Structure 1
């Protein structure tokens, strides 16, 4: 095994009186391509800064091979002291021609003033600086934040060709699956290593948590509760979301039928349509922005769509392509230059852009949700105890009285979601909601959107998130063209490729397999699988009924104050039933898809 270029041994980090990292160790060898993952606030960025030599640990040691060049991409680059972008790009030690070449790849002007850069342009400048140094090791902290899809794909290609080693922190699952050959998991102060790609991380980490949960139950009830909260609050959500893919496919098929009809029929709503079924009807909308030099920029031209109640629409495209403009047009916040937009009746929208400015840093989580005092949160017109509601958003009971300023960025985003989603609404508008979110919060947001019974319009550059959430994608190319594709981001790529490439006629003419060969093919489930499917179909409604009964108990707004022990026991029972339902749904989905495949074949 090659000697490590960089090694951290028994790293210890203490903030105030809280031990954040305790005994964390890992080594980075030549050619290593690792991702550093962990819950928000676990110390990932701190550990990366220690590895980069920017801050000192409270204990432990950092080893770096002599002569090893390390470049660090921070989340918020500091442009202070740089009059031009080229000056900033050279500040890491790169030669001017190399810095200029990197900026050219990213289409940034070397003479631009760094103070005028947008968030995405600032991230590109920081990437140019890191890459121009030609280091042996690159440490990247959320490199895809504020980048558009073309830039993310460019960065994937650039890093895949990088000959050195790198460690990256990212919430972008598609990005991690493409690049990471190993995983470092920072969990409760220590680092575990998996020498497999990110695609294997969820199963591996959940297995570890499950094993710890069994041990914890034998040792200490409090530890058991924390482990169960960690596992049920995060990994079970991922499993539940996988189990909903079947429903998502059905919704996408329904959306596809409507999208295909849009180009053939008038977009007027039928007079007999039930109130509120139509959310947005846009016909031939165009918006053109005049530019300072006298030219014009077409944001969108001649675009039509009909959005119905329950649709979940994602808007994608390069930065500056007009996504936010179209979003404002579709919600009535901006008038088009031509064409028409008709909004449905009784719309109650909520806008979420993940700006945390509206949070009072000195207020507690409890007071933030119970703005009028007391211990109740009105959630869609029904009272919930604030502690019970906070659990839905992955907060522990002990955090309820903490000030907002003590929360990490991802935790503050969860609190914003909790406050926003408690309000009555039937239309959610989200402009790049996944920026700066950790994976746990992304899982939570994904589940919230699935459970949301209204309509969703969102702008996002997160491909995995789009694949898991939306029923349709509207793609803008930056030159005024906007086109709708049923399905998620992967469906969009496939359809775009199919539209650009003529169908191969020889595929359609391929001979069918011989009759004798077809006769040997299995056409139905085995007896064992059929019985299992039948049992699951019986058990799942029973579980849903039991869960509903427990939820009725927990819905009592005075339960926590009157009988805290019953509240905790009911909560544990609710979690256990949910976990059993998750496993049943997952197995049912697997068997049902197998049955359809066999019978369809």
Structure 2
């Protein structure tokens, strides 16, 4: 028999203005569930998660959380105002009985010290602090809204591992396919205000979604035929009894209303790049390129030859210099040493990571037409700006909306629309997947597959890299870069490891030519060495005291249960203490096993 849910939402309804956002959304979360919540941008996923967290009240419907269960919610834009530093912010999220050491441990794992002042944090650093805050208490239910945003690959892969090891039930919203495939066991699809549930992970979602939409289309076609038949009867049928006629008129009116009120799937993004004449065969030739900042090498003696049609992915941890390498290769930044030669007839379009080229006061229509009227020219095709806006899921009434009023996802679509409307034979994409929904990512990948020019992309999205690029330039540390043939998974197979955080990058063997444009030979994994992490060392020091505390509690409970009058006096209390004692014994057994494992690891390290 299935255990009762620890949290559920039933028949949730919510309207913003005159538009219904949620019209009957349900979610049921059981112990240890791994649920991903998917849907188009603007479908109400974040709002539904806030309702689950108790932060937004629905117009109608039911929300239930089992008494005593803890819920933690990760917002997209955390607020650290009022805290002295990041450690104070994370510690404020701990409850009675939570392990205090986890605050510092998680901050360290996420690349923070705990001393950072909130006012000086970047968006990515604030996001990491917020992650530490919700993970530290190890709550019963974790509600995570885009947890991988602003994280680099080492942090994303660490987060995956951490979430897998936790007992918390998870509800995730993310555009990172690989992250969802690795963690989810149930998929909830929010579509046109209602939810559908697939009792399988995200890897099976897209085939199921397509099947649902095909069935819906067939039902709509059947409705059309029924309406056509009833209209024919109304015009030409022999008059029958008046009562029957009234019934059929009412039936026709009901079917017409059903068709009129049917909300089809949200319009699909239409992506098509305006392509210029082909560039020369050699697009970029870099020889011995070096760039240093404050004496620290970011790019050190890198050479590369990029030919027409190549698709190059640039990967590495935050701070490794990915954007710097990109700017050097495209001629946007002068190297300290070495040369970069660009091919002839090169027409380059760039999607920058921070959307810096967008003037926040410019209207949406002017951003797409450069303020030159109402038409967008794509190749040889001239299209009205309103029609082009619709291709990217914008409504006609948004034409005069300033860009400052758009969401992050909408600004991302504006940048895509601008870049793809201009003739190019080379696309430079710096974190193009930020804030894009899964369907838009699908179409972007298809468009890049059909694009005949050259593509250079910086991304932390492993699935996107595997689908798009033909080779990967990997930051090896100390300014060294190596190119590997294939996508991200191919790079991991050849190198023997994925992207690691700065300071932990694998060293290249002596004599290896830095930055050579050849597929690297498969790396030989280093021998496994016993090593105690910060968490292990802290646990080794604190576990004996914790075990002793559990032992004392268990002894007191045993004395209480030894009282022959206890059961007859309070049968319910006797049952509760017995259950609590069994739980304490299990906790102590696990703690003793963990201490023994760590003690053996310590001895191996010292040996």
Query: Considering the TM-score relative to the shorter chain, is it more than 0.5?
Result: yes
Judge conservation of contact 1:217–1:224 (CA < 8 Å) in 2.
no
**1:261-340 matches, cutoff 5 A:** 276-290=280-294, 296-340=295-339
CA 1:354–1:219 in 2, change beyond 3 Å: closer, same or farther?
Answer: farther
Q: CA deviation at 1:313?
A: 1.0
Aligned to 2:85: 84
Instruction: Give the equivalent residue in structure 2 for 1:50.
Output: 51
Structure-2 residue corresponding to 1:417: 416
Q: How does 1:356-435 map to 2 (within 5 A)?
A: 365-372=364-371, 375-395=374-394, 408-435=407-434
What CA distance in whole angstroms lies between the structure 2 residues aligned with 1:429 and 1:227?
41
Match of 1:436 in 2: 435
2:192 touches 2:263 (CA, 8 Å); kept in 1?
Answer: no
Give the superposition deviation at 1:454.
2.1
**2:347 is the counterpart of 1:348:** yes
Counterpart residue number, 2:171: 167
Partner SS state of residue 477, structure 1: strand
Distance (whole Å) between structure 2 residues aligned to residue 142 and residue 36 of structure 1: 11
Quote how far apart the aligned CAs of 1:334 are: 1.6
Q: Does 1:489 pair with 2:463?
A: no
Whether contact under 8 Å (2:94, 2:137) holds in the other structure is: yes
Do structure 1's residue 145 and structure 2's residue 149 form an aligned pair? yes
1:404–1:444 Cα change, 3 Å? farther
SS in 1 for 2:477: coil
Other structure's SS at 2:268 match: helix
2: CA distance between counterparts of 1:327 and 1:306?
Answer: 14
**Structure 2 Cα separation of the partners of residues 371 and 99 of structure 1:** 49
d(CA) in 1 for partners of 2:478 and 2:29? 44
How many angstroms does 1:298 deviate by? 1.6
Q: 1:49 to 1:393 in 2, by over 3 A?
A: same
Work out which of the residue numbers 96, 102, 114 in structure 2 matches 1:98.
102
Alignment check: 8 A CA contact 1:120 1:148 kept: no
Counterpart in the other structure of 2:447: 448
1:79 CA displacement: 1.1
- CA spacing shift, 1:119–1:407, aligned 2, 3 Å: closer
Query: What CA distance in whole angstroms lies between the structure 2 residues aligned with 1:176 and 1:349?
Result: 33
Cα distance change, pair 42–222 in 1 and its aligned pair in 2 (3 A): farther
Matching residue within 129, 138, 142 for 1:134? 138
Match of 2:473 in 1: 474
- What does 1:531-542 align with in structure 2 at a 5 Å threshold? none
Q: Choose which of 194, 199, 202 in structure 2 pairs with 1:190.
A: 194
Q: Which residue of 1 aligns with 2:67?
A: 66
Counterpart Cα distance in 1 of 2:134 and 2:374: 49
User: Unmatched 5+ residue regions in structure 1?
Assistant: 241-273, 291-295, 503-601
What whole-Å deviation, never above 9, does each CA across 1:5-42 have from its counterpart, x for those lacking one? 11111111111111101111111000100000000000
- Report the Cα offset of residue 141 of structure 1: 0.4
CA pair 55-36 structure 1, distance change in 2 beyond 3 A: same
Cα distance in 2, alignment partners of residues 353 and 227 from structure 1: 39
Q: Per-residue CA shift, 1:216-235, capped at 9, x if unaligned? A: 2333699989999748837x
User: Mean alpha-carbon deviation: is it higher for 99-108 or for 357-366?
Assistant: 357-366
Partner of 1:249: none
Q: Tell me how far 1:440 sits from its aligned partner.
A: 2.1
Kindly state the Cα deviation for residue 123 of structure 1 after the two structures are TM-superposed.
1.9
Q: Aligned partners of 1:231 and 1:479: how far apart in 2? A: 47
Partner of 1:543: none
Q: Contact 1:52–1:71 at 8 Å: present in 2 too?
A: yes
Instruction: Tell whether the 8 Å contact from 1:429 to 1:458 is kept in structure 2 after alignment.
Output: yes
SS in 2 for 1:339: strand
Contact 1:354 1:416 in 2 (8 A): no
Per-residue deviation at 1:413? 2.1
C-alpha displacement of 1:100: 1.4
Q: Check conservation: 2:284, 2:306, Cα contact below 8 A.
A: yes
Is the CA contact (8 Å cut-off) linking 1:206 and 1:231 kept in structure 2? no
Q: May I ask how many residue pairs the two structures share in their alignment?
A: 461
Does the CA-based 8 Å contact 2:279-2:308 persist in structure 1?
no
Compare 414-423 and 8-17 and name the one that shifted more. 414-423
Check whether the contact 2:37–2:173 (CA below 8 A) recurs between aligned residues.
Answer: yes
Counterpart among 263, 268, 288 of residue 233 in structure 1: 268
Partner-residue secondary structure (3-state), 2:522 = helix
Between Structure 1 and Structure 2, which shows a larger proportion of helix residues? 1
User: What is the CA-CA distance between 1:360 and the residue it aligns to?
Assistant: 6.9
Q: Per-residue CA shift, 1:440-464, capped at 9, x if unaligned?
A: 2212322332333322111100000
Q: Does 5-14 or 410-419 show the bigger shift?
A: 410-419
8 A Cα contact 1:318 1:477, kept in partner: no
Which whole-Å CA distance do the structure 1 matches of 2:441 and 2:460 have between them?
Answer: 13
RMSD: 2.9
1:183–1:12: structure 2 CA closer, same or farther, 3 Å change rule? same
The structural deviation recorded for 1:46 is 0.5
Task: Tell me how far apart the structure 1 counterparts of residues 257 and 420 of structure 2 sit (CA, whole Å).
Answer: 30
TM-score computed with the length of structure 1 as normaliser: 0.71
Say which one has the larger Rg: 2
- State the TM-score, normalizing by the size of structure 2: 0.70
Give the match for residue 117 of structure 2. Answer: 113
Alpha-carbon distance in structure 1 between the residues aligned to 2:310 and 2:262: 36
**1:364 shift after superposition:** 6.3
Structure 2 CA distance for aligned equivalents of residues 371 and 65 of structure 1: 55
Q: Do 2:191 and 2:265's aligned partners in 1 also have CA atoms closer than 8 Å?
A: no
Per-residue CA shift, 1:151-201, capped at 9, x if unaligned?
111001001111120100000000001000110110110111111011100
Question: How many Å separate the matches in 2 of 1:228 and 1:55?
Answer: 25
Higher mean alpha-carbon deviation, 351-360 vs 111-120, is at 351-360
- Distance (whole Å) between structure 1 residues aligned to residue 359 and residue 482 of structure 2: 41
Q: How far apart in 1 are the matches of 2:346 and 2:524? A: 41
- Relative distance call for 1:230 and 1:224 in structure 2 (3 A) is farther
How far the C-alpha of 1:113 sits from its partner, in A, is: 1.4
| Maintained 8 Å contact 1:233/1:394 | yes
1:500 corresponds in structure 2 to 523
Change (3 A) 1:432 1:356: closer
- Cα 1:433–1:425 change in 2 (3 A) is same
SS at match of 1:163: coil
Secondary structure of 2:4 counterpart: coil
> 1:26-37 counterparts in 2 under 5 A?
26-37=27-38
Matched-pair contact (CA < 8 Å) for 1:209–1:227: no
1-structure distance, mates of 2:161, 2:367:
43
Which digits, 9 at most, give the CA deviation of each residue in 1:508-557, with x for residues without a partner? xxxxxxxxxxxxxxxxxxxxxxxxxxxxxxxxxxxxxxxxxxxxxxxxxx
Q: Which residue of 2 aligns with 1:214?
A: 218
Which residue is 1:20 aligned to? 21
The alpha-carbon deviation at position 496 of structure 1 amounts to: 1.3
- Measured in 2, the distance between the counterparts of 1:139 and 1:73 equals 6
